[in-house]
Amino acid sequence: MRQIILDTETTGLNPKNGDRIIEVAGVEMKNRRLTGRHLHYYCNPEREVDAGALAVHGITDEFLEDKPKFAQIAKDLMEFISGAELVIHNAPFDVGFLDMEFSRLDLPPTREICASVRDTLKMARELHPGKRNSLDALCDRYQISNAHRTLHGALLDAELLAEVYLAMTRGQESLMMDLSPPAPKAHVDRDSSKTDKPRPALLVRRANAAEAALHQQVLEHIQKESGGKCVWVQASGGGVQESKAEPT
């Protein structure tokens, strides 16, 4: 299975209000292993970055001035995600922005380009109801180091999300998982000269007279206390007689 763990950064929160993508990144995973292939672009949004968004990702208008416009990177992005399953944290947000950018260029929506979309935020809420399920919270929960994440960044967040996704779906905490088949068990040659020998007869040790008498007393006591329902007595055909109380 080919998956692209994807993240975006934007000028604001609402594409319907004209907010645009300013950074997009994806890392490729095949059969639950990172391939080392990734896509990462900054984009000139042709508008200013909102102050609230700037506080989250730290990407300034000045930094974006000489970056390509989304139209210039759209073909590379489409080819990269084509036919893959997208894994995104809070997928409706990123897919909404991607669809807006594609529609500006008369391109098909995201779900027609990729095979499917998996939302890790929805997964996390189902696994951990009532708890914080931000990317930082999940990194802490699954013991994935994010000490180098002081601001949001699409490529770093995609790499962290890849580890979080694996931890949520396999219960493991590292990408360095061992998917190789188990080593074959060593063949043990059996010594037929030992296994073919007949076993010695079992030693039967019978109770002596004193032990038999003690056993008889125990059965009589059980028979009396159980009102004549001692199963060992019944199994032996009632061979134990109840002792009679002495007259007082």
**Which residues lie across from 26 on neighbouring strands?**
6, 39
CA-based radius of gyration for the chain: 37
Catalytic residue check, 221: no
Euclidean distance between CA atoms 24 and 73, whole angstroms: 10
Q: Which of 40, 152, 187, 221 is catalytic?
A: 152
Euclidean distance between CA atoms 105 and 55, whole angstroms: 29
Cβ neighbors of 87 (< 8 A, separation 6 or more) are 3, 4, 5, 6, 29, 118, 120, 161, 162, 165
Backbone torsions φ then ψ of 37, nearest 5 degrees: -90, 135
Tell me the three state secondary structure of residue 172.
coil
- Tell the residue number behind the tokens 């009589």, with chain if given: 220
Query: CB of 120 within 8 A of CB of 87?
Result: yes
Secondary structure of 11-73 in HEC code, one letter for each residue: CCCCHHHCCCEEEEEEEEEECCEEEEEEEEEECCCCCCCCHHHHHHHCCCHHHHCCCCCHHHH
DSSP string, 175-225: S----SPPPPPPP----HHHHTSPPPPPP-----HHHHHHHHHHHHHHHHH
Active site residues: 152
